[in-house]
Structure 1
């Protein structure tokens, strides 16, 4: 193993040049962030594929992801490319020109004219569930618009100039609907169909409607189905023909496939086959069906079914089963289930062999008409019982903590919402799961929720983490002695609540470490490696803890109730508030996107008495004390600062990060991303290169080379800022 700045034998004549190089490297010049994830996450709402094969996947925290090579690689689209909304609900391509791409977001429509390389907002407001471009006149574009993300009262917006300008056109559309999907007639740009029902955020009546005058007036053509429609498709060869799949009244039974040859005026049942409709664009009469809500190995409806005889009864044959599909790293039985049947599946518009779909967490695809299915979100590296995985670049995750082991900097462990606990044995370049099947609740080891992961600085593989089914529900404290390959439940005495902010006293003896954490807003202490715990401070509004690097008797805790300290090793009765009033927040409970207060506490590793605190919220920022919190200096102002990392080898070097987004929430112009200082906070240099979104929840420095920085970013996930000569 070779690391930058670890070599010896530099000649004296090169010292000045080296100093200049290291200083430039430390402030991030000529370096950029590289994403380093396992792949997947969630939530992915919809996906679309253009006629040139370009794919656009819609996420709820990281904007849009774009692939130009069949899903082998993905790039994340954010503010630097013109997209200013983290929540993207839908996408659409111009069928005549795939370089024109539309995104429907929680605040209007964004349009690209260069193949999704850059975007501009063309509709300023409203939650857009679906966008449809007229096949015969791509200057005509429609959008399914709602006043808010959880609203009914829809409107159809129409553009006559290719999506550059918009105007509402619907006159008599029922106000109690949630529009899910728009389809434009293949022969008449003024005729369109609207499918309504229940979305992720709001339920409404299920119906199928048609407009023959450009979206102004509407009639129902789906009333005969009793509110059980699940998908609608237009025939690629006959403009008069519609296809509709309908659930059976018995929820465990197969659905029904219907066809209309008069644009929905009348319907004929063809077969007992439900789910998503995949029409072959090359061969008339070939139709595939995927019951993508029930892709469980035990469900008789699972798999992909094909009819080459127009969907007639008895002609569907099973092309493949989920038991033969590759799910990537996920072991969850629900891994293949699509997010919805109204946009989560996207056939290639010209190539009948190709189709992709998104689930709440993953992306899958087929290149052979459904005979096989592969993951498009991750790659498996190596074989054997403990495989490693690396992301293809589509990572919509909430990673809240990242730990680089002092005992072995190649061992990196991360805590996520939903994905749980993951570890890397090669410095973050590949990952393997470390979730506990018992204590991850309904995830069963296929995921989980954790707020922290902490490694022992002197013992390889000794790690503590909290884990549970829900980030805001009961959790169990776990301890591992093999880097998360196996876990033991510890934490006797702790309440069944979310566990946050674990810290370790490095001066305590290995094997009998003194630990602190918060549970229910109170501070708890263990003096036996986490096995048993006692409450040492009843306060109710503290979420994070830290132990002084030079004096184990000084312990800190912070949260919405500000910053507190004990000068007696955390003993009961020894605590007092030492922070300023500006560090306090108002909202109680575990942090979420609107929470304010102390988010990070970092005792200085180089200066006795030194202490740094990042507080998130209006008028807050980064604070520094040289006397254990007796006096304070506000070093950096900002509403979204959340984390600070201090270089133990170079006292003037520090990195701070912040994010307007957390587990939800969007981009705000004041969201700082990552800033670096080489003069102890007197001046700052932004580290933006390679960041799709300026979001940072946690930062960690490689202890062997602090110029190597790890970033936990909500949405785009884990990033690494490598030295100029990266580790091998």
Structure 2
């Protein structure tokens, strides 16, 4: 049978039909506002109207000057609305054309403020999101409302392309622009409809890396101009480098050339022909005010401006230097301006989404209400129900079941001093941990520092800092491998740290990587377990016998040959608080365990495999043991597929009797690791999944924070035999599916289940793959859409559904109508 994707409600699903139906009943979104906004646009005719786009986290519109935001409609086979470039009709703020991300339409348009999006067939691709036309930038003419241009690459022909529309994106024609085997960087249009395109003399490979790029193989580039809607082109300037960004406003053109080469800098023109270089202005980005008389540039730690007076540009002046700039990727930031008042400007942010300034960029405030896409990378829920989560650089606290949030800690807040920089605490670098063993005892760790709050997040105290005992921070990163707490004695906790150098392996000899607290986390001391061979990559504690800890051991780095990796396997620590702690290797000597999950019933782990020679170590199956780590088996997914078909196991968690596993795209769940793990969140629905958070269970992803509402149905009455019934019955297969509810008696484990559907003549119509392990004492829900095993519609009539297991056989009649 063909593998199905269907609405999965509880603990298992039946492969009856191929569908793109989503799993929306299994998760709800938590209103933690923000998102990785990469583009924004302000309406020229109504500056209260703004649009903002993210890649995976959705796109939004505001009609009140960024006071509130509303999500745009969705489009394509996967119902996405991520945007990487947005242009607005200059006289109609309700009309937009946008370059899309992660869907089968490269370009879309809307004439109702984005409430509904229409994909443009000229730029359509296949249903896996792949396209021969890869578009990067859209601009709108202010001289001729309704005229739009969209720039991109034709991958099939390996050339740059430019398309033009004169009816607000309804129809398009290809212009004469061409750039064979070159990378299209950016485009701008000035007040007179002159088009400017920045091009690099290099072709980017599939992973977006320029072919042949190196400091010794300098990339050249050029700026070209068209004054006749792209019919003819004139090369204005060449560069010994990599022209990246270009902006045009009024009569000013600004271009940033900032990669390699000896002519890096910001180039400015007042006539669209002659360019001069600004050596004082930062050359990471450039943004021109509507009147063309001021240019803004964003650096790693500051915002600068340069103003035009009389006949020259003044030297750059720093107007804002705040730590909110330091730790966010400068290359994703944009500044856009109110067309009627340039002192009102907006800055995109890769974490909080959007900021606003009303004094020309000297001070900024966060304006993201309704922008529901804050990316969470780690978190915990305390016993009182409060949530603590980490975004890229900040810690947030949620109350009222996550319905109300406040930022409670920003570790790197304070004046930025380039001469004496502090640690860079980027929680999204895979280095953060959060745990809340008590309502007033919460810990967050990052970059070798561990903070504690005992007053609900009002004040935070550093209770541990890695200091100089490890590789210098300039050469590597100190990451937390895990933090755990003794369930029986909440004064005892443990954490482990590791060194990650990227291009080399650390030297673990003589270094303490595990620390213990016996005073509720106020102080921490080394456990004095050292290894000359391995670092610690993961940590877990036995929930029943808290004297037992499990650690993953080993070392690997992305840019180190796999043959040099150190595979330490799984180790067991005994620490009874009386005798000196001991540890020993117990399993998986050919692995570097990165995830360990322990319940009272089983032990699960995943990690880097010794036989995986790929650069990014994607092959990371999950294994389970039910006998304390003596014997192991690989888990199975759905209808028998193993985790080898997943990119990697990103996280494993156990909560409320359910095991959860994610590969970063989908989420799978099972009540028993020996049973099939069934998909409860389809790939792409939450974006890229960053973490799983216990309590009940939450998922942080680049579409936002979600609560997983999946739960098995425990039988409340004792039954002796299996039961089966379907509803609604009859069911109309044109508009609905039938749900089949299957009851498994207590104490009668199902080790073989075959589900089949027959017509009234006894002919087999459809069947599902055999299931080999189902936990007893629960009700399970299946679905059928009224199609046969070939995906064809079945005729109206009566059908027999049969569930045949090792325990017994049950049947029910269902009536199909159309």
Q: Same fold (TM over 0.5)?
A: yes
Q: Separation in 2 of the partners of 1:223 and 1:456?
A: 57
Q: Sort the Cα spacing of 1:541 and 1:65 in 2 relative to 1 into closer, same or farther, 3 A.
A: farther
1:697 is matched with 690
Q: Separation in 2 of the partners of 1:159 and 1:247?
A: 25
User: Which of the pair is proportionally richer in strand?
Assistant: 2
8 Å CA contact retained: 2:70, 2:370: no
Q: Separation in 2 of the partners of 1:452 and 1:542?
A: 15
8 Å CA contact retained: 1:376, 1:392: no
1:8 is matched with none
Q: Sort the Cα spacing of 1:717 and 1:224 in 2 relative to 1 into closer, same or farther, 3 A.
A: closer
TM-score by length of 1: 0.63
CA-CA distance at 1:721 after TM superposition: 5.3
Deviations 1:27-63 (A, max 9, x none): x9867522343635x5x44322345655333445546
Counterpart selection for 1:103 from 87, 99, 102: 99
8 Å CA contact retained: 2:61, 2:72: yes
8 Å CA contact retained: 1:54, 1:70: yes
CA-CA distance at 1:371 after TM superposition: 9.3
8 Å CA contact retained: 2:441, 2:452: no
The answer to whether the aligner puts 1:626 opposite 2:620 as a matched pair is: no
What aligned pairs does 1:142-541 form with structure 2 within 5 A after superposition? 142-146=149-153, 155-159=160-164, 169-170=175-176, 173=179, 178-183=184-189, 186=192, 192-195=195-198, 208-221=223-236, 232-233=247-248, 235=250, 242-245=251-254, 259-260=270-271, 264=272, 276-279=287-290, 289-293=294-298, 302=305, 312=310, 331-332=323-324, 339=331, 344-347=334-337, 355-359=345-349, 361=351, 370=360, 375-378=365-368, 392-393=370-371, 395=373, 397=375, 399-406=376-383, 408-410=384-386, 412-416=387-391, 418-424=392-398, 428=402, 429-437=404-412, 444=422, 448-449=426-427, 451-455=431-435, 457-458=437-438, 460-463=440-443, 465=445, 467-468=446-447, 475-478=448-451, 483=457, 485-490=460-465, 495-496=470-471, 497-506=477-486, 509-519=489-499, 524-528=513-517, 530-536=524-530, 540=534
Q: Sort the Cα spacing of 1:154 and 1:477 in 2 relative to 1 into closer, same or farther, 3 A.
A: farther
Which sits farther off after the overlay, 435-444 or 123-132?
Answer: 435-444
Where structure 1 has 5 or more consecutive residues not aligned to the other structure, the ranges are 1-21, 236-241, 281-286, 379-390, 469-474, 585-596, 660-670
Counterpart selection for 1:718 from 702, 705, 709: 705
8 Å CA contact retained: 2:328, 2:350: no
Q: Sort the Cα spacing of 1:57 and 1:537 in 2 relative to 1 into closer, same or farther, 3 A.
A: farther
1:576 is matched with 586
CA-CA distance at 1:129 after TM superposition: 3.6
8 Å CA contact retained: 2:301, 2:325: yes
2:6 is matched with none
1:564 is matched with 570
CA-CA distance at 1:348 after TM superposition: 5.4
Q: Separation in 2 of the partners of 1:452 and 1:336?
A: 16
Q: Separation in 2 of the partners of 1:717 and 1:88?
A: 16
Which entry has the higher C-alpha Rg, 1 or 2?
2
8 Å CA contact retained: 1:106, 1:127: no
1:387 is matched with none
2:771 is matched with none
8 Å CA contact retained: 2:72, 2:81: no
TM-score by length of 2: 0.57
Secondary structure, aligned partner of 2:431: coil
Q: Sort the Cα spacing of 1:169 and 1:313 in 2 relative to 1 into closer, same or farther, 3 A.
A: closer
8 Å CA contact retained: 2:499, 2:535: no
Q: Separation in 2 of the partners of 1:205 and 1:656?
A: 46
CA-CA distance at 1:565 after TM superposition: 3.8
8 Å CA contact retained: 1:502, 1:517: yes
Q: Sort the Cα spacing of 1:368 and 1:642 in 2 relative to 1 into closer, same or farther, 3 A.
A: closer
2:780 is matched with none
Secondary structure, aligned partner of 1:357: strand
Deviations 1:304-356 (A, max 9, x none): x7x9xxx656999x9x9957xxx9xx75466999758xx92334568888643
Q: Separation in 2 of the partners of 1:507 and 1:368?
A: 51
CA-CA distance at 1:506 after TM superposition: 0.8
Q: Sort the Cα spacing of 1:409 and 1:614 in 2 relative to 1 into closer, same or farther, 3 A.
A: farther
Q: Separation in 1 of the partners of 2:343 and 2:660?
A: 49
Q: Sort the Cα spacing of 1:532 and 1:426 in 2 relative to 1 into closer, same or farther, 3 A.
A: farther
The answer to whether the aligner puts 1:611 opposite 2:588 as a matched pair is: no
8 Å CA contact retained: 1:62, 1:87: yes
Counterpart selection for 2:539 from 526, 529, 545: 545
Secondary structure, aligned partner of 1:419: coil
8 Å CA contact retained: 1:492, 1:531: no
Q: Sort the Cα spacing of 1:456 and 1:234 in 2 relative to 1 into closer, same or farther, 3 A.
A: closer
Q: Sort the Cα spacing of 1:61 and 1:433 in 2 relative to 1 into closer, same or farther, 3 A.
A: farther
Q: Separation in 1 of the partners of 2:341 and 2:335?
A: 15
Q: Separation in 2 of the partners of 1:444 and 1:164?
A: 52
8 Å CA contact retained: 2:160, 2:184: no
Q: Separation in 1 of the partners of 2:483 and 2:620?
A: 24
